Structure 1
Amino acid sequence: MLTRYHISQEYMAAFSEDPPKYAALHWDGKMLRDVLGSDPGTTSETLAVLVSGPPAYPEGKLLGVPVIDSSTGTAQAEASMDLLEAWGLTGVITALVFDTTASNSGVHRGAAKLLEQKLDRKVFYLACRHHILEVLVGAVWENLFGKVKSPENPWFKHFKDVWTDLTTDNPTTLSIRQKWLNKKKKECKEMLQEILRSEKPPRADYREMAELTLIVLGDTPPRGIHWSRPGAIHQARWMARNLYSMKMFMFAEQLEYDEETVVKLERLNLFLGLFYTPMWISSTLAADAPANDLQFMKDMMKFKRTDPEIAQAVLQKLENHKWYLTQEVVPFALFGSRLSDKEKQDIAAKLHATEKPDSFRRGKPMFPQVTAKTTLADLVGPESHLLLDTLGIEYDWLLQPVATWPRSDDYSKALEYVSNVKVVNDIAERGVKMMTDFANIITTDSQQKQYLLQTVEYNRERFDSFKKQTLKK
């Protein structure tokens, strides 16, 4: 234990000497059993705190896993700030990446606002795009099938129980008649085929969603049609609604659902296949986030003519989740692949013509009003100077033709930042998973657990004594 203490101090010192120049802070909490503490068997709120930043830590560096008194924004902000100070990182944090729960994003006592106050400067609020999309699909499911009150969805439980009895030779696919929806279908299929053929296809469950989307749209994935056994059915499982809903629709006839249920599943799969899956697959790209979100909102406005209930449910949720259409984040689109040169030039011209504020407005960003005619240039405002101000970048290149931007060192600096900054909180989710896995391993073997508890208790006082003596030396 003493050796590990010395090693941890060496790691902290080395990291503090060469931290990322621009880092994002991530945190995520979970109730865990106390398997090695003073009161084993009880549960406590535990927080995984990480930072990410290129070049050395693009996928995150775990700072600590403190136990906190509660899951309030205040407790999470204080624990996160304590770790930032211990690691000497308060000066490099430029963004906060968080799940959109009230304890994180609250206007008054949210952890994000409190952390920004403690840092004493304006930072980017980058709400997890995966979490936002999970909220959207949850709203659609609730609109169609009602609120699920139990931890496990009974529809999914039934499907999982009967899976082995189903014949998977002839799945039902979507029949799409509207011209603009068929255009979306073609675009979606082309995008998913390209991604699945790439050298680095998505991770297992994301890949399954992409492949199921192709199948439900009447296409065949690059590696053929493979059916994975249904997995987790817990409400907290992000992919559950998507994966189960697609399979339930494709095998609805064998499941003997009534006509109303089949129609609901068809409506849900139309939304998932044409709009939701493409958004999810591209959600990790910060530079494309503003353009993707604006187009998604416009698509939902148009989709109201096809399915007003689903479209309205999505649009209502999006009113509280326009994080990437704020003045602060819209300039990210200058470095993306979704916009034409003219659209980028319009944003650049508007930014250059907009007066920079004396100080940036802190707190939760203001969400804009969006209509079918809104452009990203329309969303540029005084707070849009935050990106270039944070990076200390000059503005001259903004007035040049887009084709010449890569020749500018300032453009390249901003491109590197936007290309690497995280807009999903998956690394914090992985930190929570590490905590859970450790607790499960410890408690699997009762004899091992008892031995560890006795060892920890025996060494607790001795270790404190050793540490004090070492610090004196």
Structure 2
Amino acid sequence: MYIFNQSTRYITGVVNVNWLPVLLSSLVDGTTKLLGVPNESMVIGMCFDTTASNTGKLNGACTLLEKAMGRNLLWMTCRHHKFEVLLADVYNVCLGPSTGPEILFFKRFREKWTEMNHTPEVRSIPLIIVSDAIKAFIKCQLKVRHSRDDYLEFLLLAAQIVGLQVDVAIRKPGALHRARWMAKAIYALKIELLFTVNKTIFNLTARELQGIQRLNRFIICVYLQSWFSCRLTADAPVNDILLVQRLHDYDDAVLDSTGLKMMLRHFWYMSPELATLALFSSLLSDKEKTDLFRTIQADRGPHLMKTLPQSFDNLRASKTFFETSNIDASFLDVLVKTAQILLLSKLQQCL
């Protein structure tokens, strides 16, 4: 459920009334349905991009909305926006910053498209060698119906570059402006897949080729799993921990550091209030959830902490999550499995 922080004003006679739309997004086919437009008193959270205009401590929209409503709201940041920032930071390290609305390096590739051979070279060894777990994740995601065509295109290109058998032609390049989230990943994968059969046409420098290969390896080994898992709100704190662990284990120290710095600026879902969502994630065992229960704290904690949690043991839940969302927290006194059933029932009542 996404509750947006932008008000729509309806005029009823001489009285101004502010309302907020509530949308429900399907995890099955990505469709979105307007559930209703409740009065502000029913709003429990905000979904927003992590720009300073939204998150500023003094004059950010989120802070001002909380002050105007006189109560706490859940700060539920846009997961896709965070990973868009991660990819942009890593791209800048690998290939340098690009000015203007379009990425000039990819624009060269698009302009040469009609001169190229569009069939990748057949290889016995894939361009990027990965674990069976990553291959299994890509296969699983290929079976899911995605709301956007470029999500599927990203997956198909990833499957090709790691050696999975997929029968698909590489599409003609389209939009590459910065507002298209997938552009950097899609274009980088296409360039490496087609480079061998188009060396003279691409005319890449050694630095550019190395940068593309470095970027693609990060995209496949670190980034891809986070991008396609970030829609699941209950799993968000766990997925953030898993990303931190992948970054620590990655063998490129510069990209490792770049990713961790981005996480330190954007790890909202590991704050105590939102980390409480991990209690209802299928990725944690009952024992890990019980341990999380035992360390639950009374205050909401800061939205961004000073250090990144390194493991699930470092997560701290907060009772304010239940207060802010108007959920009776009495189920905290029962066993984990029973508590999950009770909470799901309460959430359905709230919706």
Same fold (TM over 0.5): yes
Q: What amino acid maps onto 2:225 in structure 1?
A: P
TM-superposed deviation, 1:328: 0.6
Question: Counterpart in 2 of 1:288?
Answer: 235
- Any conservation in 1 of the 2:80–2:227 contact (CA below 8 Å)? yes
Question: Counterpart in 2 of 1:52?
Answer: 22
Larger relative contact order (C-alpha < 8 A, sep ≥ 6)?
1
- Any conservation in 1 of the 2:331–2:343 contact (CA below 8 Å)? no
Question: Counterpart in 1 of 2:343?
Answer: 410
Counterparts of 2:2 and 2:242, CA distance in 1: 29
1:282-321 superposed matches below 5 A: 282-303=229-250, 306-321=251-266
- Any conservation in 2 of the 1:275–1:296 contact (CA below 8 Å)? yes
- TM-score (norm: length of structure 2): 0.84
Does residue 189 in structure 1 map to residue 135 in structure 2? yes
Question: Counterpart in 2 of 1:336?
Answer: 281
**1:174 aligned to 127, 152, 175, which one?**
127
TM-superposed deviation, 1:91: 0.4
- 1:258–1:282: structure 2 CA closer, same or farther, 3 Å change rule? same
Q: For residues 371-396 of structure 1, give each alpha carbon's deviation from its aligned partner in whole angstroms, at most 9, with x where no partner exists.
A: 54x32x43315xx1122223332333
Counterparts of 2:4 and 2:309, CA distance in 1: 33
- 1:175–1:410: structure 2 CA closer, same or farther, 3 Å change rule? closer
Question: Counterpart in 1 of 2:54?
Answer: 104
TM-superposed deviation, 1:416: 8.1
Question: Counterpart in 1 of 2:329?
Answer: 394
Which structure: larger Rg?
A: 1
Question: Counterpart in 1 of 2:193?
Answer: 250
- 1:168–1:310: structure 2 CA closer, same or farther, 3 Å change rule? same
Counterparts of 1:385 and 1:371, CA distance in 2: 19
- 1:412–1:187: structure 2 CA closer, same or farther, 3 Å change rule? farther
- Any conservation in 1 of the 2:237–2:277 contact (CA below 8 Å)? yes
Counterparts of 2:135 and 2:45, CA distance in 1: 34
Q: What amino acid maps onto 2:211 in structure 1?
A: K
Question: Counterpart in 1 of 2:175?
Answer: 232
- 1:260–1:23: structure 2 CA closer, same or farther, 3 Å change rule? closer
TM-superposed deviation, 1:134: 0.7
- 1:344–1:226: structure 2 CA closer, same or farther, 3 Å change rule? farther
* Partner SS for 2:231: coil
* Partner SS for 1:249: helix
Q: Which moved more, 1:258-267 or 1:309-318?
A: 258-267
1:214-225 superposed matches below 5 A: 214-221=159-166, 224-225=167-168
* Partner SS for 1:287: helix
- Any conservation in 1 of the 2:272–2:315 contact (CA below 8 Å)? yes
Question: Counterpart in 1 of 2:316?
Answer: 380
TM-superposed deviation, 1:338: 1.5
- 1:141–1:60: structure 2 CA closer, same or farther, 3 Å change rule? same
Does residue 122 in structure 1 map to residue 72 in structure 2? yes
Question: Counterpart in 2 of 1:24?
Answer: 3
Counterparts of 1:371 and 1:397, CA distance in 2: 24
TM-superposed deviation, 1:127: 1.2
- Any conservation in 1 of the 2:154–2:186 contact (CA below 8 Å)? yes
Q: For residues 390-442 of structure 1, give each alpha carbon's deviation from its aligned partner in whole angstroms, at most 9, with x where no partner exists.
A: 33323335541x34445x4334324887xx9xxxxxxxxxxxxxxxxxxxxxx
Counterparts of 1:276 and 1:161, CA distance in 2: 28
Does residue 366 in structure 1 map to residue 267 in structure 2? no
* Partner SS for 2:168: coil
* Partner SS for 1:139: helix
Counterparts of 2:221 and 2:25, CA distance in 1: 36
Counterparts of 2:61 and 2:267, CA distance in 1: 19
The aligned length equals: 328
* Partner SS for 2:21: strand
- TM-score (norm: length of structure 1): 0.64
- Any conservation in 2 of the 1:388–1:414 contact (CA below 8 Å)? no
- Any conservation in 1 of the 2:4–2:21 contact (CA below 8 Å)? yes
1:449-460 superposed matches below 5 A: none
Q: For residues 248-276 of structure 1, give each alpha carbon's deviation from its aligned partner in whole angstroms, at most 9, with x where no partner exists.
A: 12122312323322221111111111221
Q: What amino acid maps onto 1:378 in structure 2?
A: N
- Any conservation in 2 of the 1:26–1:98 contact (CA below 8 Å)? yes
| Contiguous gaps of at least 5 residues in structure 1 | 1-21, 29-48, 64-86, 177-181, 421-473
Counterparts of 1:23 and 1:256, CA distance in 2: 45
Q: What amino acid maps onto 1:308 in structure 2?
A: A
- 1:210–1:260: structure 2 CA closer, same or farther, 3 Å change rule? same
Question: Counterpart in 1 of 2:13?
Answer: none
Counterparts of 1:94 and 1:288, CA distance in 2: 19
Question: Counterpart in 2 of 1:156?
Answer: 106
TM-superposed deviation, 1:367: 2.1
Question: Counterpart in 1 of 2:91?
Answer: 141
**2:223 aligned to 261, 276, 282, which one?**
276
Question: Counterpart in 1 of 2:16?
Answer: none
- 1:207–1:23: structure 2 CA closer, same or farther, 3 Å change rule? closer
TM-superposed deviation, 1:140: 0.7
- Any conservation in 1 of the 2:25–2:32 contact (CA below 8 Å)? no
